[in-house]
Amino acid sequence: MGNQASRLDELISHDYRHGFYTPMEVDSAPAGLSEDVIRLISAKKNEPDFMLDWRLKAFRHWLTMTEPRWATVRHPPIDYQAIVYYSAPKSRTDGPKSLAEVDPELLRTYEKLGVPLEERELLAGVAVDAVFDSVSVATTFKEKLGELGIIFCSFSEAVQHHPELVRQYLGSVVPYTDNFFATLNSAVFSDGSFCYIPPGVRCPMELSTYFRINAKNTGQFERTLIIADRGAYVSYLEGCTAPMRDENQLHAAVVELVALEGAQIKYSTVQNWYPGDKDGKGGIYNFVTKRGDCREANSKISWTQVETGSAITWKYPSVILQGDNSVGEFHSVALTNHWQQADTGTKMIHLGRNTKSTILSKGISAGHGSNAYRGLVKVAKSAANARNYTQCDSLLLGDRCAAHTFPYIEVKNASARVEHEASTSRIGEDQLFYCQSRGVSAEDAVSLIVSGFCREVFKELPMEFAVEAQKLLGVSLEGSIG
Amino acid sequence: MTTGAREHYLGRFAAHRARLAGASLPWLQRLRDAAIERFAGLGLPTTREEDWKYTNLSALERRLFDVVADGAQFSGFRNDVAERELARHALDDTHRLVFVDGRYAPGLSHVASLPRGAEIGSLAELVATRPEVAAELLDTDPEAEANGLAALNAAFWTDGAYIDLAPGVAIDAPVHLLFVATRMDLASFPRIVVRTGAGAEATVIEHYAGSDDAVYLTDAVTRIDAGAGARVTHVKVQQESRRGFHIAGIHTLQAADSRFASHSFAFGGQLARNDIATRLEAEGCNAKLAGLYVGSGRQHHDHHTCIDHARPRGTSRELYKGVLDDASRAVFNGRVIVRPGAQRTDAQQSNHNLLLSDGAEVNTKPQLEIWADDVQCAHGATVGQLDADRLHYLRARGLDAATARGLLIHAFAADVLRDITHAGLRARLSTLLPGQLPEDMGELECELLPTS
Amino acid sequence: MLEIRNLHVTVDEGTTKRPILRGLDLAVGAGEVHAIMGPNGSGKSTLAHVLAGREGYVVTAGEVLYRGANLLDLPPETRAREGIFLAFQYPVEIPGVANIYLLKAALNAARKHRGEAELDALDFLALVKAKLRLMQMDESLLYRAVNEGFSGGEKKRNEILQMAVLEPQLAILDETDSGLDIDALKVVANGVNAMRSPERAMILVTHYQRLLDHIRPDRVHVLAHGRIALSGGPELALELERRGYGWVEAKALETAAGARP
């Protein structure tokens, strides 16, 4: 038995591929957080007053808050004064105007990560905004998108060139008072992506942001804001990596999505932050607030996430279904291995009439990994004929891992229909042995079972991402058999 | 400033301490002192606590109930009310112990002959006559009394029942424990202890009834110790007055290969909370938890259940259903834990809710915590309303709308009722469901079928 | 028995209201068996549902008289008690309610409505068992939940069993032949034929002619675009079987175009 268990262990252990560090000359704020640091960040970014005011309000509010304790995750206390809140690659100008101005070292980094920023090398139909530590370093296909009226740029640029849009929508989904980490983000966020799709425009290519934490002791606090105006459509991809370090690093991002009448936003994430080593040392604390607002009728927001990285993941991409007939979706695969902990799920807040939501969550736990689905389906009194269907499945690999399910269902309208189902299964040694005795290697058998388990979620991902996600899980479960 | 619940009950304890049951027994006083200290630290639960998120006890902070300690003060109960309630709730073919306002009423009770090795009686009497046995039965488990109200019960309990079965002893007829509340503004703290030796068998019906619209508090604690291979069935019937408060904890420990079945029926009270927990602490145990809550008006029903699979080869089945009308609210929190090493656990849980009115509200959280891999666990929860196609079908066959609704409500509840083996109780529970049935159809439930 | 005049019905689909019946006329007398045929989407099932009183259908014009009185104002249960029976195309499953329980409740509701004494258990059981034999159904189906886990054929037979027990004045069979193999079809047809009587009217709603091989109708109507496009004797069904519905539909469109002012 012991022998068999260790074979499963080997099967599921793997090395982190993106763990290198790029030596760069950086421009950093001193460690620690104070009003001065916030003023410094705001000044560096040449922000208008309304932004500084907003940041300071958030900071003052944050001082009154305490770190949440309710998630089933365990971590040593975070010293918020030891974190560097601003770190940017040094550049000659205020920001790169084109790819030609981007530091070649940076371009090489992204190439190494498999994210080419040179447009000619890009997969057709994907525009990329790359965020390195705290700032956006390159956005591709900007002009082409501009012809359609689509604004796709770094958040800093949006603040400079489209302050009216930023002012209107920033914090309108995740207010600066929302929660401990979102409030912190509101105070200190340094960059991120901004996207606006004008009425009736179907964005012709996938938009993508690639996040990279490089510098030591750095927190990454990016902010993404996507607005799909009436009848617009956009599919958005987000990927992330970080170097291997023994210390834990904090990532506290905020993503806000706004869908106006008849608009659709599809947001896909493949999160592969450094998870820590096999003894649980190091890794990213990924405490992220993602929320979409189906603000007007017939709109739709769909979240798809594949979470394989981070030491601790704590995120609940949510949808507020305000508009009548609006639709929210959440599709998730979360893999925890070694000592990783994931507490993830979604909130579907039904406010409008005939609103629908679907939740599909697949958790895979291996090693000492702990995987929790935590979700809320709330049907307000106003949400006549609301519908929700939730399915949460857990796959357990080995007898030291854990899988938890905490679905909160709150229904205040008698015409609502809410259904929740959850199940647990495992890959047993007997199954592996059976496959082997039929000539299928145990390795293949595991990856077969795992990919079968995740198929329903993967099919929601855009093609390029699905391949990437499949590979990522494959790597996660790679190993030799004794 | 008005006195809060904490100061009030601490004050009552100080005043009554010397007159509580077993006041002369140092070990019991130590238990009570430790409990009141726990209460002093905890106070009443608040909605800031995860387990009380949806159940607000602020009414119990405002409305402070009287506590009666010794026998002399019990003479004041309303005998007429007690007898009326007894006539309404008595069940045939049972051993019956009646408690009025928390105190044993021998004149209203009736225990037929019991097999050797079976003992049933008043806990206060046991403390007075055989304190050494009482000490064994009252050996508390602080974990089971982790909230302020359970601690209050441990401090204040004045009476209650004990059922003590030697190994291999089976009581055929159910033990019917009927707790009748007759007085306004009184808090009663019943304590029930069930101990079954290896292979013993018993069915206990714990039944709470209150008169009219009396406002009072029942704060009950039940402890069940199921020996190896024992079979224990516990049926809780909560029919408190429409304005009464009912808080109860039922905690079971299961030894190897024991079978425990819990059925909880909640009909009464303005605010009622049941914590029902069983710990399968040896191999091969079987637990079955079923429940039905029926709310109307502004009633609030809360069930928190916990099935703790601590050891391998345990099986559990849980089915809770709710029917909510008017502006009633229900909370269901079903926790299933599979501890590390509890391999080959098989746990299934479901919770289904029927909302009959737009003002009604349900908060449900089926919760799985799994720390082992060779397990089969599944849960499901639904919230919905009566099926329009089914209603139409029944009406198209000539049943009027009200009858069609009533029939579908009864059908919804059928699989929770069907396992109640006492036919008289089953029939009576069925009459407590909302909605009328076709007239002259005879006893209904034998013609209703389990939903598959 | 039944008279439908210029019936217009729209179906409420949440945001939109779609017209289905657009001026349907039909008269069915006591003792007659009428078949209503037509392509999918012509409104056959809508007609059946409107007669049974299902919600979600809005009568925008016209009237339906049943035994000389306005039918449309009555709730579904009163129609049933007055002797209208709809055998559903898709009989719903009702977990928790025994088949026999529903039969008894339905029969007693109708008897009470007519001022008759309710049947006692013995008489009732004798009646039901006789009808069971007619439908070649297993007695165990009586004690199972209504339609729950029944095969397609069992569901349809169960509908006819209910009809046999309730003995309606006007029976509407909505696609009762769909999903039946030939043996089950014969059993159902025998059951229906045994019910034919001078006092009873029947409407068979069907897409195919094959049911009519076993139950010979007095009249055949073709429904197209929400109205009766063509009526005839039993031979019309055979013609439809040969030629399909296309020519009738084309004709109906011409008529509709011609009728437009």
The subunits that touch chain C, with at least 3 C-beta pairs less than 8 Å apart, are B
Of B395, B404, B451, the CB nearest to C96: B451
CA–CA separation, A283 and A277 (whole Å): 7
**Contacts with A387 from chain B: Cβ below 8 Å:** none
pLDDT tens-digit series, residues A418-464: 999 998 888 777 777 777 777 777 777 777 788 788 888 888 877 76
CB atoms within 10 A of CB C250: 12
> Which tokens is C251 given?
């004709």
CA–CA separation, B309 and B194 (whole Å): 21
**Contacts with C49 from chain B: Cβ below 8 Å:** none
Rama region for B313: left / alpha / beta (φ>0; ψ in -120 to 50; rest): left
Distance from CA of B45 to the nearest CA of A (A): 17
Task: Check residue B83 and give its pLDDT.
Answer: 84
pLDDT tens-digit series, residues B212-253: 788 999 999 999 999 999 999 999 999 999 999 999 999 999
Same domain, B278 and B394: no
Length of chain C: 261
Q: Is B398 in contact with C144 (Cβ distance < 8 A)?
A: no
| pLDDT (mean) for B134-141 | 83
Over 90: is that where the pLDDT of B207 sits?
yes
CA–CA separation, B369 and A363 (whole Å): 13
CA–CA separation, A336 and A465 (whole Å): 20
> Which tokens is B131 given?
């304190």
Q: Is A415 in contact with B385 (Cβ distance < 8 A)?
A: yes
Name residues whose C-beta falls within 8 Å of residue B7's C-beta, 6 or more positions apart in sequence. Answer: none
Distance from CA of C117 to the nearest CA of B (A): 12
ipTM: 0.87
| Structural domain ending residue among the three candidates B219, B251, B282 | B282
Query: What part of B 49-88 touches A (C-beta under 8 Å)?
Result: 50
Sign of torsion over alpha carbons B403, B409, B415, B418: negative
Could you tell me the residue range of the domain that residue B211 belongs to? 3-282
Report the candidate in A188, A138, A156, A161 with the shortest Cα–Cα distance to residue A37: A188
Which amino acid is present at C163? M
Q: Is C97 in contact with B407 (Cβ distance < 8 A)?
A: yes
| Structural domain ending residue among the three candidates B256, B282, B308 | B282
**Contacts with A406 from chain B: Cβ below 8 Å:** 365, 367
Distance from CA of C93 to the nearest CA of B (A): 7
Same domain, B262 and B408: no
pLDDT tens-digit series, residues B149-167: 999 999 999 899 999 999 9
Where b means 16+ CB within 10 Å and e means fewer, C69-101 reads eebeebebbbbbbbbbbbbbbebbbbbbbbbbb
CA–CA separation, B356 and A222 (whole Å): 46
Same domain, B413 and B271: no
Report domain extents, chain A: 17-436
End-to-end Cα separation, chain C, in angstroms: 33
pLDDT tens-digit series, residues B388-445: 999 999 999 999 999 999 999 999 998 899 899 999 999 899 989 988 776 655 444 3
- Whether B330 is covered by a domain: the verdict is no
Task: Check residue A218 and give its pLDDT.
Answer: 60
Closest residue, chain B, to A380 (C-alpha): B361
Which residues in chain A show pLDDT less than 70?
A: 1-30, 70-74, 87-140, 211-219, 240-248, 280, 464-465, 472-482
Q: Which H or E run contains B431? A: helix B423-431
B426 touches chain C (CB under 8 A): no
CA–CA separation, A56 and A471 (whole Å): 43
CA–CA separation, C100 and C126 (whole Å): 12
CB atoms within 10 A of CB A25: 9
The single residue listed with the structure tokens 């303005």 is B270
Same domain, B125 and B248: yes
**Contacts with C109 from chain B: Cβ below 8 Å:** 397-400, 403, 438
Residue B190 pLDDT grade (very low, low, confident, very high; cuts 50, 70, 90)? very high
Where b means 16+ CB within 10 Å and e means fewer, B151-165 reads bbbbbbbbbbbbbbb
Interface test with C, best of B323, B390, B394 (most C CBs within 10 A): B394
Question: Over pLDDT 90: what percentage of chain B?
Answer: 79
> Which tokens is A362 given?
């697949």
Query: What part of B 324-383 touches A (C-beta under 8 Å)?
Result: 340-341, 343, 353, 355-358, 360-383
> Which tokens is B303 given?
């069930």
Distance from CA of C81 to the nearest CA of B (A): 5
Q: Is B399 in contact with C110 (Cβ distance < 8 A)?
A: no
pLDDT tens-digit series, residues C188-242: 898 899 999 999 999 999 888 888 889 999 999 999 888 898 899 988 888 888 8
Task: Check residue A361 and give its pLDDT.
Answer: 93
- Whether B402 is covered by a domain: the verdict is yes
| Structural domain ending residue among the three candidates B261, B282, B303 | B282
Specify the pTM.
0.86
DSSP C196: -
